[in-house]
Each structure stands twice: as C-alpha cells, then as structure tokens.
Structure 1
Amino acid sequence: MDPVFRALADPTRRLLLDRLREHNGQTLRELCERLDMARQSATQHLDILERAGLVTVVRRGRERLHYLNPMPIHEIEERWISGFDRPRLRALSAIKNQAEEYAMTDGPASVPTYVYVTYIRANPEQVWHALTDADLTARYWGHANVSDWQPGSTWEHRRVDGSGAVDVVGKVIEAEPPTRLVITFEDAPESPREPSVVTFLVEPHHDIVRLTVTHENLANMEMFGGISHGWPAVCANLKSLLETGEVLPQAPWDMSPAHH
C-alpha cells in the first residue's frame, strides 16, 4: 500500500487521475494540454502513478495511452474504509458512481474504453492456453470460447448447458501467441453498428504475468456497466484456476454490484 499512498499524496498526481477518470485513454500530449504542464514533469508524475499500479499504459502504434486503474484504490477502500460501515458506504458509493457514470456521457460517442489489469502467478503460455482453450474457458467463464484463433477466423462464446446456444460471436483480428490477442465482441450481431473490440495483452515478469484486458468501441453506458462487472469476475476465476487448479467456489459474476 505504501507506493499507492505516496502517489496519492501529491495534488498534481491526484489531478492527473481526475483527468483520466473524466476521459480515459489519453496520450501524454493530451494530458499536458489539459493540465498546462511540461512533458517532463507530467512524465515523472505518470511514472510514479504507473509504478503504484494506479495508471496502466497501453501501447497503440507509436502512442502510449494512459488508463486509470482503480484496483489499488479499491483495495484501500476494502482495507481501511469499508470495514467501518460497509453496508451504508457501499450504498452511497453505488449512488455516487452511477451519478458520475451518467455525468460522464452525453451520448454513445463518449462511452469510455474499459481497461482491467490483473497479475497472475503463471507463465505467458499458460495464460494464452487458458484464454484460447475451449475446455478451460468453459471451466472459468461458464462458456466455451471456440475458434482456431487464426487472424480472420470467427470465434463463438458457446453455452455449456447442453443447449449449444451462442451468446457472443466475433472475429480474430490479431493473434500473437502467447502475448497478444485482439477479437471483435458481438453480443448483438444483427446490430448495424461497428462491433466492440477486446484486446488481451499478456506481459511476463519473472514468475508472474500482467494480463491487461482492454474493451473499446462500446455501444452505450449500459454495456460499459455490464462489462465493468463481468471482466473482473471472469479474470478472478481465470486467476484462481491457474494459481490453484480450481475455479472460485461460487461464480463471481452471479454477485450483484451491491456486494462489490
């Protein structure tokens, strides 16, 4: 927790986080323009925020896009705040978050990109296998992800209840085993709009990997809310399976947001 508290102690770094909360996925140039700050100064502050896990950097071509990672703040809330008056604070937090979510958007064009980061005690090949193997996805996701995972191929998110129903379809845009997988994510294939896009980035570091899930081109804030609940649950089950050999004892996506 110490790096997080030190990072949050500086008002400039808190302002940077506020600007990312308002508009996620900004480049260094965009952040400097909004804050009237020199690039060198902004870079130093962002490096501290990144080391504390509060900011995640996703490369897009030559650009580095900066995303707010709320997990360290959530852990502070869980350890230092929620225990004092958990039910009331959760209710107040849900009301505040919903109000801010609606305030952030004035139409579909302003729906933010969703980014989730988790760390897993595994190697990249194990994580890649878990992301692309139909039997393993059926265990931790409740659906089998079926494809040959070659660029241009289709993929299906099939139920495992015996019905064979497909809830999500898409195409494989990029596949670079074992570090990068980009797919379209179409839960309403008949819709005329462009599909959303999911990127899985697997970055090794000694005995662990950092898995970054980026979901962009979302249809609306309702979809943003749904995946904000769904991706952490799926990644938690994946992490549990790879680290312990077993999924979580209850399906985490069945928990209502009020329990988070």
Structure 2
Amino acid sequence: MDQVFKALADGTRRRLLDRLHEHGGQTLGELCEHIDMTRQSVTQHLSVLEAANLVATVRRGREKLHYLNPVPLHEIQERWIDKFERPRLRALSALKRRAEEDMTDKPTFVYVTYIASTPEKVWDALTDAELTAAYWGHSNVSEDWRPGSRWEHRRTDGTGVADVVGTVVESERPTRLVATWASPEEEGQEDKHSRVTYDIRPHGDIVRLTVTHEDLADETAVKQVSLGWSAVLANLKSLLETGKPLPQEPWLVPEH
C-alpha cells in the first residue's frame, strides 16, 4: 500500500492513470502523445505504477499494451471510503472496472491479482471440476485441457447444463491457459466467441495471476464480466489462501 500511495502522489502518474481509465490498451507511444516529457521519463513513471500494481501490461506482438488495474484502488475504497458511506465518493467504484478497447476495437477486460499459493495449485483451481465448483458456482470440465479440446462451464445443480462452452487454444501447465468463451447458442458462430487468457507467474514466494478477457461483444458485456471476474477471483484467492471460499458468494450480494 505504501507503493500505491507513493505512485498516486505524483501528478504525472495520476494523469497516466486517467488516460488509461479513458482508454485502456495504450502503447508507450500513445501515452507519450499528451505528456510533455521524454519517453524515458514516461517509462520510469509507468515502472512505478506497475510496481504498485496500478498498471498491468499485455504483450501484443512487439507492442506492450498498458491497462489500468483497479484492484489497489478498490482496496483503498474498501478500507478508507466505503466504511464512511459517503455517497458523493461512490464514483470511485467505477475504478473496479478495467476494460477498454484493444487493437481490434473490441472491448478487453484485464484483471491482475496476487495469491499466496503455487502456480500448480492455481492452475488446478482453474481447471479441476471439483475445485471450480467449490468457489465458482460452476464446474470447469474438459477431457484433458489440451489445445483443441472442448471445455464446458457446467452448473453444479445436478442438471449438467453448460452456460459457457469453448475450445482450448493454448495449454502450458502451470503458467498459461487460453480458451475461447461462448454461450452454447453461439458455439458455431466464431465471430461471437470471446477469448480468455490465464497467465500464471511466480512472483517471489507468491503467484501473480493475470486474467485477460478479450473480443467481448460490447460495453454491456464488459460490465458483466468485470463484476463476474472480480467476484470469482476473490473467491478463488480466499479458497487457496484459507482453504475456504468467502462466507458469501460475491455474485449473490447486490451492489450498493
């Protein structure tokens, strides 16, 4: 948290966050266009923001795209703002959503969290049917989670109904998993498929998990997945760190 406040104390870094809030997925060159300083100086400011986990990056070929990561800001909101229940400050809750347009002009959502666990355990928690049922409300099911395999996001009510289906695109246990994402009705319509990437990396003695959901249909879809991923990954983190999911399923608690 010290790094977060240090990063926010600088006006230039706040301007960079404002620009990423307005439009995510910007390159260094795009961010430099409206900042009156050298690329090297902007790079240094971005490094501070990345160290504070306020900015997440995704590689697209040779380019490095920058996104606002709302998690530390949300933690500030929960600890110092929400408990005072000041309606005039509720606009800060919008910073929970980090979803803008990528190079294909389709919305993208990126979420970064840190978990006290191992890459292997995080991978298993994302792909094991019983573990996903324990914290997600659905079971992620695939025959082998290899590229080309079908996967399903099945309800846990005994009906076996799949609300999401897709195909595994990349599978590198325990660091990277990429899969398409669609409703059963859209399964044969590839232009309506979105794509989810799980990037699982050691970060010292803990794990950095980055979830990128791209090629979303529109801003309505962005709003839906931003709330869904935030709740699911909070529940995942609780399960791996405490052995139990959160006492309430986050997606069942209404937003205020």
Alignment TM-score > 0.5, same fold: yes
Which residue identity does 1:66 align to in structure 2?
H
| Pair 1:72–1:176, CA change in 2 (3 A) | same
Residue 20 of structure 2 is matched in structure 1 by: 20
Residue 43 of structure 2 is matched in structure 1 by: 43
RMSD: 2.4
Q: CA deviation at 1:74?
A: 1.7
Query: Percent of pairs identical after alignment?
Result: 61
Residue 156 of structure 1 is matched in structure 2 by: 152
Task: Tell me if structure 1 keeps the 8 A contact 2:175–2:201.
Answer: yes
SS in 1 for 2:168: strand
Unaligned runs of 5+ in 2: none
Distance in 1 separating the partners of 2:224 and 2:135: 18
Runs of 4+ in 1 over 6 A off after TM superposition: none
Alignment of 1:180 with 2:176, yes or no, is: yes
Distance in 2 separating the partners of 1:207 and 1:97: 31
Task: Tell me if structure 2 keeps the 8 A contact 1:23–1:112.
Answer: no
Where in structure 2 are the equivalents of 1:1-260 lying within 5 Å?
1-35=1-35, 37-86=37-86, 88-89=87-88, 92-93=90-91, 97=94, 112-147=107-142, 148-187=144-183, 188-189=185-186, 193-258=191-256
Unaligned runs of 5+ in 1: none
Distance in 2 separating the partners of 1:123 and 1:114: 24
Distance in 1 separating the partners of 2:182 and 2:19: 30
Matched pairs, number: 249
SS in 2 for 1:193: helix
Q: CA deviation at 1:97?
A: 4.3
1:79-120 deviations in whole A, cap 9, x for unaligned?
Answer: 22222234x347x438x949x99xx89xxx755311111111
Task: Tell me if structure 2 keeps the 8 A contact 1:111–1:221.
Answer: no
Q: CA deviation at 1:65?
A: 1.4
Task: Tell me if structure 2 keeps the 8 A contact 1:7–1:48.
Answer: yes
